[in-house]
Amino acid sequence: MEKAVTVSDALNILGELASAAVIEEEYREQQKQKERALKCFQEEVKHRVNQHVKQRKKQQLQKSYEARQNQYLRYRRLFMDIEREQVKEQQRQKEWQKKMDKIKKEKEHQRLAEEQRMQEATSPEVPNSSEKACEKLEQLKLEDVKEKKKIAKRQKHKEYARYVEALRAQMEKKIKMYNISLPSLCFCGSDFWDCHPDSCANNCVFYKNHKGNVVY
């Protein structure tokens, strides 16, 4: 009887030892799994931090680029405004010169007419001077007709430009309504609709080139 108890106790001890070994192995496996999970978590955190840093640097570079681009566009607009003011001043001077020339022609016309009238009243027997005066008057009349044609042509060009501007504004409204983004034609404007032949820089290929500009 004592021998049977001893064998049973031994078997129990062996079973407990086996269970303890299994539990220890499971515990070690769980520790390894926790270490692997912790390592994966650390790598994931590190990856996310690196991604966040890269994204932040990219945003900073993008903001810096946009700031430089905006500064460049501001300076370019300022330069173009100065150039446009100079061109407008030259145009005003040309218009003033044209008015002065027109006044001089009218005065010359009146002077010749007065001279012809006085010559006809005082010397009706001299036909050559009268003929010359008539020729000068005819020439002045032809020049007046040409000047009027030029003025009519400029007026027609202005009306055409107003029509084109209205059509351009209508096209811009429709295209923006459909959320269509068009690239800029040159560096004179920030977008497609900011580029204009009348507002481009003097060294731009589209300056005063309405036929070359796609908008037209």
Q: Render each residue's pLDDT in the chain as its tens digit; 216 residues.
A: 444 446 666 667 766 777 777 787 888 888 888 888 888 888 888 888 888 888 888 888 888 888 888 888 888 888 788 888 888 888 888 888 888 888 888 888 788 777 777 776 775 544 555 566 667 667 777 777 788 888 888 888 888 778 877 887 888 787 778 777 777 777 777 777 777 777 777 788 777 776 655 444
Supply the pLDDT for residue 5: 47
Cα separation of 93 and 162, whole Å?
24
Supply the pLDDT for residue 215: 45
Cα separation of 210 and 198, whole Å?
9
Please check whether residue 185 is in contact with residue 206, taking contact to mean a CB–CB distance below 8 angstroms: yes
Supply the pLDDT for residue 211: 61
Cα separation of 72 and 66, whole Å?
10
Supply the pLDDT for residue 4: 45
Supply the pLDDT for residue 80: 80
Supply the pLDDT for residue 216: 40
Closest CA to 110 of 142, 133, 143: 133
- Can you list the alpha helix ranges (DSSP code H) found in the chain? 2-122, 127-177
Please check whether residue 189 is in contact with residue 196, taking contact to mean a CB–CB distance below 8 angstroms: yes
Supply the pLDDT for residue 11: 65
Please check whether residue 201 is in contact with residue 76, taking contact to mean a CB–CB distance below 8 angstroms: yes
Supply the pLDDT for residue 123: 57
Supply the pLDDT for residue 128: 54
